[in-house]
Structure 1
């Protein structure tokens, strides 16, 4: 079986890219052709039977977009810190087990939508504004020592210190929310932060899930955090939640508070627009 491999050598679980190639060969690959980050489209057009991406959540979006356009099945070797996409789809977090799923002779695939920002940045989990951005910044220096627990500690620090943001949210061209918020999530799978989730999202309905956590008493953030860890945030009655084909989030706040956490990658912009790509990625699942 021919494999086109996209690998992020900077991902925490990858010590040597050659180890990933050897893992795929031992799982049944007859040919493994490696491509660098930024070569996702070339990988999808290479004639491979499977496209495999090895890296963290931020690596998956571009590969998912290329695989969707190229009509090639996509497999994920979760080699990041949070691996929220793998958790959302029930993929093995162990690389050896994930390689066996990737090279299964009787594959099962699941269609997954790819979200794309107006400037062409693809993502699969969520683009968050507000506390999630501050939490990611707080966690950045802790990941090497604490792994996924760094996101939990980062979230605690953010909840204690970060200010609310002023946002205007528009869905399909219509106003949805305007005012102060702790967090805004524009979601595909809805998973983020090493095990948190906004709630009942469907990654194959062709719609973005948009959730707003309105600002309020800081002590009430404990209930919000509990909802995120349980994946029931959108069920809280005072949390606006809706689905739309397009979403725009604009922050009227200071430079320090601006920015989005897009599948774990920090993007410092004041506004984000997103839509769902017309083609789905067919992702191999157990």
Structure 2
């Protein structure tokens, strides 16, 4: 699976596995594989990239965006419930959460362990960020939010109903303290520690807009760009009295994405992002600085000097 490819994993834990003998388990796995195959093909949800299995767990990896594949799966479950009472289905994908194929499969399998409604014939479990992306889809049924265990992420389950309490543990800092820790680590030059703190923060609290710009510290362009793009979607979806702060975050995210695009040799994309940032904050000098760096990278020293001079003049003119 190549960089930037949209991937979804649908993990399937067969209900009643412990009560089945070996022939029944083989039949159950075959039925589950058939159900997952049909779910993946229905409504052109995406091409099947791989089918993985171990014991009671099967995983179907689709080359599809999770926001497109998940509603198709839910429509199929409305028409025909999966084999095996007590079955649990976990849906994960990038860019709504994990980034690589291995991380997506691991996240989908992790969701299978989350608590769901008691005595439900089957349960679908998705993470908080994917639910946020899906919440306005016309075919979305009513999911129920379930609080995660101490320092663990929240998740959403369907069918909604009475769910067991999540396990409790020691106290865990909220998003504000984690964000402050990451900013402190960045200020001290502890780049790797700041990235790991932000990565943890966004797993636990994925709708924390101010955390996403810090992921620009991530060294891998594809990983950082995916986080920054997620942050841009979160920021643009927010409304309220703090709109000025959100516009500033949007400005920072657009410029960070532009820098990453230029580094990858995607000049047209970089230009588009710089222009978008300039529209958000016309008086800012940062877009000119980004363009100056790109000119210097191309060997255009004169162009870089002119752009830096313009940026400096704009800084002096600022109130």
TM-score normalized with structure 1 length:
0.29
Q: Which structure has greater strand proportion?
A: 1
Q: Which structure has greater helix proportion?
A: 2
Larger Rg: 2
